[in-house]
Amino acid sequence: MRELAEQLLYRYAAAIDDGDLADWPDFFVEEGLYRLTSRQNHQRGLPACLIYCKGRAMMRDRVTAIRHALTWSPHTYRHHYSNLLVEPGATREEPVALRANYLLYRTEEEGDSTLLATGRLIASIRLDGPARFVSKTVLYDACRIPGNLVLPI
């Protein structure tokens, strides 16, 4: 169970880091929820998010926007996850809860690697059938993310 949750997280990161962005929505269940917000907003219960996607259709829209609509300077990500804690659901059908910390580095084309964000994530993962996120909430510790954020974390 722990290993399945770990692998889902690592394959998710590898897809984004390798540029396979079209695969991103498939890491979630059909009605899955993705949120990216600051630690402070989350603590205060404020609903504002830097990225908010409810359902794969909304995620696919975002992928299309990133590819065709938005203007951004070419760069790649490198995700590093640490301190993974997995908690089983009440029954085998219930999703498991995952908590982890992350470090995210961005490398500009022909440039250096710099820290984009560090923080933690809280996820709910369904393991009956192919492992998928029911929800993934990514919190960053700083009050803001430097530069324009385009890709999901």
Does 21 help bind a second copy (rule: CB under 8 A)? Answer: no
Q: Which residue among 119, 125, 126, 133 contacts a second copy (CB under 8 A)?
A: 119
Q: Which of residues 122-141 bind a second copy (CB under 8 A)?
A: 140-141
Instruction: Give 82-138 as a DSSP string.
Output: EEEEEE--SSSSSPEEEEEEEEEEEEETTS-EEEEEEEEEEEEEE-SSS-EEEEEEE
CB of 139 to a second copy, least distance (A): 10
- Determine if 118 is a binding residue for a second copy (CB under 8 A): yes
Q: Is 142 in the site for a second copy (CB under 8 A)?
A: yes
Contacting residue, 54, 78, 88, 137, with a second copy by CB under 8 A: 78
Choose one: 24-32, 45-53, 57-65, 75-83; the region binding a second copy (CB under 8 A): 75-83
Query: Is 14 a residue that touches a second copy (CB under 8 A)?
Result: yes
81 near a second copy, rule: CB under 8 A: yes
Distance in angstroms (rounded) separating the CA atoms of residues 116 and 123: 21
Contact stretch for a second copy (CB under 8 A) within 21-29, 55-63, 89-97, 110-118: 110-118
| Contact in structure between 77 and 149 (CB atoms under 8 Å) | no
Give CA–CA dist 62/56, Å, rounded: 10
**Helix, strand, or coil (residue 150):** coil
CA dihedral in degrees (66, 119, 80, 75; nearest 10)? Answer: 30
What's the distance, CA 108 to chain centroid?
Answer: 20
Which of the stretches 50-58, 65-73, 100-108, 122-130 binds a second copy when contact is defined by CB under 8 A? 100-108
Least Å distance, CB 74 to a second copy, is 11
